[in-house]
Amino acid sequence: MKKNLFLVLAVLLVAHLPAKADEGMWLPFLIDEALYEEMSRMGLNMSQEEIFSFTEASIKDAVVSFGGFCTGEIISDRGLVLTNHHCGYGRIQSHSTVDNDLLTDGFWAMTLEDELPNEGLFVRFLLNVEDVTAEILSVLSDDMTESERSAAIREKSNELTAAATEGSHYTANVRPMFAGNYFYLFTYETYTDVRLVGAPPSDIGAFGGDTDNWEWPRHTGDFALFRVYTAPDGSPADYDPENVPLRPRYHLPVSARGVQENDFAMILGYSGRTERYLTSYGIDYRLENMYPVRIDIRRAKLDIIEEAMAASDEVRIKYASKHSGISNYWKNFIGMSESLQRLNVADSKRELENAFHEWVQADPGRTQTYGHVINDFQRVYEGLKQFRSHNYIFLEAMATGPDALRVANAFNNLNTLLEEEGDEEEIRNVAERLQGMAERTYRNYDMDVDRNLWEAMFEMYHELAPSDQLPDVFETISNEYANDFAAYANSAYAVSVFADADRLEAFLENPVPGVLNNDPVFIAAQSVYGTYRELMQQMEDYSTLLQRTERFFLRGLMEMEPETSFYPDANSTMRFTYGTVNGYHPRDAVYYDYYTTLSGVMEKEDPGHHEFIVPEKLKELYQTEDFGPYATNGLMVVNFITNNDITGGNSGSPVINGDGHLIGVAFDANWEGMSGDILFEHDMQKAINVDVRYMLFVIDKFAGASHLIDEMTIVW
């Protein structure tokens, strides 16, 4: 078995020199002495153990994975959680009605009894991390196929996680790092009773909307408050009125002193996904095959949803969270595409690949090990191009298009049981599970909106996908409806049990054979999902080759550049990034300062534009300069920027100063740095943060919820 290369890598990983301060999503448990000394020179006044420790209470213990998609931080000794408004948006929406519109009016619980439970929401604390690379590698060989390798990793990982959690309520997983060259075992404690405590109205929490999204300057109070509850004995428990607020191991002090340019800033959070080692071939493929179709299809969905939301408050509330999710990455894809081209990122990657090729060819041993890498990248992406973006077309138009289609796809197992006259108890159990899924979907569903999405998405699928990759349902649309997609949509929704919540509920109460096989939405789902699975199977050879090639490429890079500081791509595990508060020059003769103020909110006010409405009370506070103790020299700071390296998943992450005090909440990145998931742009890339003083001002002076401030540890 070929183990020697892994031993070489183990040496390389700890032989780093510190990277430029602003770049790097570091594993906090691997902060070495060189990185720590660099941070200390920049203004860090804490020990490494005070930031991250497995034995003593540390900042790490105040940082949580919020719902698995964002980050939050504990800011009181009673389990108060701070995160972004947009992270809590779906939960705020779920409690909203036309008569009690929390999205529009905001929400502030004045007592613990007023706090609102949220089914399915959780926070997760990191308890321990163990390097299990040696254990995993002991069952691997470079001679394995990718499927054999994956099976061996899975089996060993299951063994390790079972041992780590035996006899406890903890959960654990093994996560690969450096493209599968290293492995770490993460152990967590999860709490499932998380209640909404406070949220500003969207005119503060989402001020600027899509227009300002991914832009600087920003003027957005993007924050919300939740609280973690436990059983009376302090253990995790599902919602129960008898539960009590969490007593955390650690909570972050909140600084009301403000920030200055060049102040040290660090961020801990659950960074989602980066691809810093993506090759030029991957970039070219995305620019040609991924971004264009995803941008176009998302724009079409947004047009339909926005028109319906503008016409009905009921629809606006139902589709608010879905619209936000579609819109966020619609603009992200545009920014990524433009930045990658503007910065010629593929060309810089080609330079690295050429250097790698020359290094490989200079040594017979390296040629034997890595000589296939560049050719394999070429082979992979040429192979993927033959599928003409089908996987992205399907993902956007079908898998995340009309809700009825997605729901119908979940009924395959029930249909099989019905047609084969399966066990009645099993049928009933499956139907009950489907009822729960349907209830969650149809509470935010409108038939007219979904029918319009169906029409538009099937038409776009027909236009964008190659004819030889179209599912057979399109023959029906051609033969029976002459490619009139509106007529097809109207016909399907007139009779399908999936088009209407009451029809579906009635079917699930008495599921009988034959109904699904004659349902036009179920037939369509079978067709489009079946075709997708067939094409993905054809793409599998290229996908597995890509996985293997990326692993060898990164291994070779680390061997080629032993003095370079490598950090693993983000993969939703806790990461640490450090930098400073500062402004930047986005283009010639233009400079953006490092902070914005409430004056900018008033300058942007536009009563005729729903994204730039300013609440009357906020205007009154501004006009009377009633900022309480939260202003600096008469200025109410709203947002500030740092050069910290963040990505999706870092939303809601704490921005912490050199003394370990909370100074801000990360919520966005800037337009000029949109290539950041693939290439960090040192001169331009910024993290955009809510200043905690603005948060305190809104809670205290705007909402009158000073009791929440009273339970925080404020540093004046």
Residue of 222, 450, 519, 700 marked catalytic: 222
Residue of 16, 22, 61, 86 marked catalytic: 86
Active site residue 569: no
Distance in angstroms (rounded) separating the CA atoms of residues 64 and 269: 8
Classify burial at 175, counting beta carbons within 10 Å of its beta carbon; exposed 0-12, middle 13-18, buried 19 or more: middle
- How many of the other CB atoms lie within 10 Å of CB of 37? 12
- Is the peptide bond between 364 and the residue preceding it cis, with omega within 30 degrees of 0? no
Distance in angstroms (rounded) separating the CA atoms of residues 541 and 647: 30
- Cα distances (angstroms) measured from residue 469 to each of 388, 458, 538, 611: 9, 14, 12, 41
Distance in angstroms (rounded) separating the CA atoms of residues 106 and 606: 20
Active site residue 609: no
Distance of CA 140 to the CA centre of its chain: 31
Residue of 651, 661, 668, 700 marked catalytic: 651
Segment holding 270, helix H or strand E: strand 264-270
Distance in angstroms (rounded) separating the CA atoms of residues 334 and 295: 7
**CA torsion, ordered 17, 18, 19, 22, to nearest 10 deg:** 180
Q: What are phi and psi of 185, to 5 degrees?
A: -100, 120
Distance in angstroms (rounded) separating the CA atoms of residues 408 and 11: 52
* Both tokens assigned to 450: 């979904």
DSSP string for residues in 50-83 = HHS-SSS--GGGGEEEETTTEEEEE-BTT-EEEE
DSSP collapsed to 3 states, 118-159: CCCCCEEEEEEEEECHHHHHCCCCCCCCHHHHHHHHHHHHHH
Q: Of 106, 51, 80, 50, give the one whose Cα is nearest residue 714.
A: 80
Q: Which amino acid is at 585?
A: H
- Cα distances (angstroms) measured from residue 298 to each of 55, 178, 228, 320, 400: 47, 32, 35, 15, 10
Distance in angstroms (rounded) separating the CA atoms of residues 336 and 63: 29
On whether the CB atoms of residues 293 and 395 are closer than 8 A, the answer is: no
* Both tokens assigned to 62: 């105040």
Q: Of 574, 600, 699, give the one whose Cα is nearest residue 223.
A: 699
Q: Of 257, 259, 342, 338, give the one whose Cα is nearest residue 583.
A: 259
Q: What does the DSSP 8-state code read for residue 581?
A: B
Active site residue 222: yes
Active-site positions?
Answer: 86, 222, 651
